[in-house]
Amino acid sequence: MAESTFRLLMVVAYQGTDFAGWQYQPEGQGRSVQACLEAALSKVAGRPVRAHGASRTDSGVHALHQVAHADLPLSRASVPWTKALNTLLPRDMAVVLTRRTPDDFHLRRAVACKTYAYTLWHAPDFTLPQRRPFVWAVGPLDFLAMEAAAAHLVGRHDFAAFQNTGTRVASTVRTVDSLIRHPGQTTFESVWRVRGHGFLKQMVRNIMGALVWVGRGKAEPDFVRSLLLTRDRTLAPATAPARGLCLEHMEIEGLGRLSAERHPDGEDPERDPGQTGLRGQGGSAPGAHRQE
């Protein structure tokens, strides 16, 4: 007789510096967020557990709100899962929130939108040690030129010139809803948030590589529009480093808005779905280049 199970949704945060990405890696090629999470889940569940993530972040990429789900023994339904998992996880990752979902819920079908944040460091002579793992030190840039270039990327386009090799896709057409510059955590930083319904392999990092190229005066803002039309990745600037990128925010269809502040123990009480959205931490005043 099959064991009765329930489906648990988890919001997971991690510093990507020492991870080889979300997804399992071949033996000897680094640890993954997925493997660490599954090890903790399996220990509490008392049997092997597979976790499914909403986004396969690359090696070195951080996350504030990666979302995952797993099927667990119904006999463990009363476990305080957020607390239990965090006692077992390594110091560079944490489960921010857990919630029981309907058994037929699956993230791959439910993710409506993602927001990535990329942080640039602009002081020419130093980088704060506390910020070095999370920023790309690029020096002073022309923000007006970068914002003019960013405007060409908002909307529905063929982003083939912004896709790195390694993943087969049926189409390279994607929609970017907004690409906005925000203040960073310090006066030496800027944060560029990209919101969209789906992204190609390393697309956001390639967008940032192109914007910084323009910001350094290596090309005019119209270069980005021309690059889109070529569909040729070999004509584009280098990919921005992984350390500046963070998966910050997801919107999940059919679920209420999730927040780590909902319950003092980190557990999010079950309730009837009434609204959508899963938001990351932080949030500065929006800038320009938004398309609804």
The catalytic residue positions are 58
Q: How far is CA 112 from the centre of its chain?
A: 13
Nearest to 214 by CA among 124, 116, 141, 160: 141
Distance CA 31, CA 36 (A): 8
Written as six digits, the tokens of 232 are 């040729």
Q: Based on the number of CB atoms within 10 Å of its own CB, is 182 exposed (0-12), middle (13-18) or buried (19 or more)? A: middle
Written as six digits, the tokens of 102 are 């309907």
∠ CA 94-95-96 to the nearest 5 degrees? Answer: 105
Are 45 and 76 in contact by the 8 Å Cβ rule? The answer is: yes
Written as six digits, the tokens of 199 are 């992204």
Residue found under tokens 């099927």: 71
Coil/strand/helix, residue 136? strand
Q: How far is CA 189 from the centre of its chain?
A: 19
Coil/strand/helix, residue 32? coil
Distance CA 24, CA 30 (A): 9
